[in-house]
């Protein structure tokens, strides 16, 4: 296993780190899109996420990563555990962060007949794909704007339904596939289709740091990591552990966070002021603010949380207005100032 650059060692990029921590606390926020300049550590940050996630329990030997605390009735019919009437014993495992590489073929994404078994034993067995592997975890697509259209459509469909339906090679199977979609890319290489844009709960704009000291620090850390990966990871182990602890605690506290009516009203006013379509924007603002409050140890969501999450939750939902020169971040910030000022 190659060492992964530690999350806590990433310099700056606070909004990106915040968005990812929020998604780690509350999966229902609905995915993170990281768009921005080249060389800003987008994929480094996402790949560092795995180390921050508290372990989860899954049924031993289950190819669909079932939760042992859920009852059997929801299990996949052809699952070997069910077929063999075996016990559903749980064990602790890392939350999956699955890479969907460009050039992946559809059969590997949705799952298909197990090629090796078909060839060697002439057996017809289903081999779950990347979607099954990402269940209860994260699915990461780097260069998401270069992904082939038919894969994008497929992902949208599964992400929306939380279920993967496979009908191929005479196999008919449906299995749960609930995952948080994380995408990254550079807008200069092409925009994302609007339909896909809307599926991400949070969207982050990453910019190259301009301060010299920050830039020097980024380069020094990167270099130290490349020359001695294991030593570097060791140096940051304690900080990553603290972050993991914080996320675990926040997950536990999530349901106890109070959301006052006044906050709901403000979220609605804000979304109306910005003219975002549908309810998805409001829901995301509320959930993200709640996750943030949980992370920060507050008992109730308030204006400070709203201010921090408004831009990532709403900036990609604004209607395009080509004649408005100001970028979407500025528009959201302006609206937040108006709503909170009044």
Partner 1 sequence: MTLPEDRWERAAQAASLVAVDPALIGGAVVKAGPGPVRDAWCERVRSLIREGTPVRRMPIHVTEDRLLGGLDLVATLRSGKAVLQRGVLAEADGGVVFVAMAERLAASNAAHLCAVLDRHEVLLERDGLGRRTPSRFGVVALDEGIDDQRVPHALHDRLALIVDLEGIAAGPWIREAPETDPEERAWLDEARALLPEVEVPEPVVQALCSAADTLGVPSLRAPLLAMQVARVAAALQGRTVAEAEDASVAAAFVLGPRATRAPAPPETEPEEPEAPEDPPPPEPPRNEDEPPPEDAEQSPPPDPEVLEDVVLAAAQSAMPEGLLLGLQVQRQARSAAGAQGTAGALQKSNQRGRPVGVRPGNPRQDGRLNVVETLRSAAPWQRLRADAEAEKGGQLPADGSGDRDRVRVRPEDFRITKTQRRTETLTIFAVDASGSAAAYRLAEAKGAVEQVLADCYVRRDNVALIAFRRDRADLILPPTKSLVRAKRSLVRLPGGGATPLAAGLDAARALADDARRRGQSPVVVVMTDGKANVARDGSRGGSKPQEDALAAARALREDGVASLFVDTAVRPRPEAKSLAEAMAAQYVALPYVRNQGIASYLSAAAE
Catalytically active residues, by annotation: 280
Asked if residue 203 binds partner 1 (CB under 8 A), the reply is no
Tokens matching residue 324: 């408005």
Query: What is the footprint of partner 1 within residues 251-310 (CB under 8 A)?
Result: none
Total interface residues for partner 1 by CB under 8 A: 64
Binding-site member from 51, 95, 100, 155 for partner 1 (CB under 8 A): 100
Query: Rounded to the nearest 10 degrees, what angle do helices 14-25 and 303-314 cross at?
Result: 100
Q: What is the nearest approach in angstroms of partner 1 to the Cβ of residue 277?
A: 15
Q: Are 81 and 61 in contact (CB under 8 A)?
A: yes
Residue 282 has φ and ψ, to the nearest 5°, of -60, -45
CB 328 within 8 A of CB 191: no
Tokens of 47: 């790949």
> Of 99, 198, 102, nearest to 145 (Cα)?
102
Pairing of strands 111-113, 126-128: antiparallel
> Which residue in 39, 19, 32 sits closest to 207, CA to CA?
39
> Taking contact as CB under 8 A, which single stretch among the options 24-32, 74-82, 164-172, 173-181 is the one that binds partner 1?
164-172
Which member of 73, 84, 210, 256 binds partner 1 (CB under 8 A)? Answer: 210
150 vs 165: CA distance, rounded Å: 15
Q: Give residue 250's Cα distance to chain centre.
A: 17
Q: Which stretch binds partner 1 (CB under 8 A): 15-23, 99-107, 252-260, 302-310?
A: 99-107
Of 71 and 149, CB closest to partner 1:
149
Cβ partners under 8 Å of residue 45, min gap 6: 7, 10, 13, 16, 17, 20, 34
Smallest separation, CB 143 to partner 1 (Å) = 5
Select from 49-57, 108-116, 277-285, 297-305 the region that touches partner 1 (CB under 8 A): 108-116
**Closest separation between CB of residue 135 and partner 1, Å?**
16
Contact 80, 60 (CB under 8 A): no
Using CB under 8 A as the criterion, what x/- string covers residues 115-144 for binding partner 1?
xx-xxx-xxx--x--x-----------xx-
Helix (H) or strand (E) holding 105: none
Q: Tell me which stretch binds partner 1 (CB under 8 A): 58-66, 89-97, 165-173, 252-260.
A: 165-173
Near partner 1 by CB under 8 A: residue from 3, 77, 94, 146:
146
Among residues 187, 245, 205, 198, the alpha carbon closest in space to that of 34 is found at 205
What part of residues 318-337 is at the interface with partner 1 (CB under 8 A)?
320, 322-323, 325
Residue among 61, 156, 174, 222 that touches partner 1 (CB under 8 A)? 222
Residues in contact with partner 1 by the rule CB under 8 A: 2, 37-41, 43, 99-109, 112-116, 118-120, 122-124, 127, 130, 142-143, 146, 148-150, 168-170, 186-191, 193-194, 208-210, 212, 215-216, 218-220, 222-223, 227, 320, 322-323, 325
């Amino acid at each position: 296993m190659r060492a992964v650059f530690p999350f806590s060692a990433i310099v700056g990029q606070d909004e990106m780190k915040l968005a990812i921590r929020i998604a780690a606390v509350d999966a229902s926020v609905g995915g993170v899109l990281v768009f921005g300049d080249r060389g800003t550590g987008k994929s480094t940050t996402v790949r560092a996420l795995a180390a921050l996630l508290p372990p989860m329990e899954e049924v031993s030997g289950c190819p669909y990563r079932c939760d042992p605390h859920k009852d059997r009735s929801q299990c996949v019919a052809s699952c070997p555990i069910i077929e063999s009437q075996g016990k559903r014993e749980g064990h602790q495992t890392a939350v999956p962060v699955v890479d969907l590489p460009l050039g992946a073929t559809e059969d590997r994404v949705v799952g298909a007949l197990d090629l090796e078994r078909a060839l060697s034993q002439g057996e017809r067995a289903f081999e779950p794909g990347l979607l099954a592997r990402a269940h209860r975890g994260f699915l990461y697509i780097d260069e998401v704007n270069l992904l082939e259209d038919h894969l994008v459509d497929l992902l949208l469909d599964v992400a929306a339904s939380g279920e993967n339906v496979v009908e191929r090679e005479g196999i008919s199977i449906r299995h749960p596939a609930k995952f948080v979609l994380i995408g990254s890319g550079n807008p200069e290489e092409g925009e994302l289709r609007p339909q896909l844009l809307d599926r991400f709960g949070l969207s982050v704009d990453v910019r190259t740091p301009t301060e010299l000291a920050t830039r020097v620090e980024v380069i020094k850390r990167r270099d130290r990591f490349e020359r001695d990966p294991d030593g570097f990871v060791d140096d940051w182990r304690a900080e990553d552990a603290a972050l993991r602890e914080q996320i675990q605690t926040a997950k536990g506290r999530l349901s106890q966070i109070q959301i006052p009516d006044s906050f709901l009203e403000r979220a609605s006013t804000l979304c109306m002021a910005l003219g975002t379509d549908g309810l998805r924007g409001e829901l995301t603002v509320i959930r993200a603010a709640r996750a943030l409050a949980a992370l920060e140890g507050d008992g109730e969501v308030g204006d400070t949380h709203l201010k921090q999450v408004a831009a990532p939750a709403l900036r990609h939902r604004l209607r395009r207005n080509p004649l408005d020169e100001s970028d979407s971040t500025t528009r959201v910030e302006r609206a937040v100032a108006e709503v909170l000022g009044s």
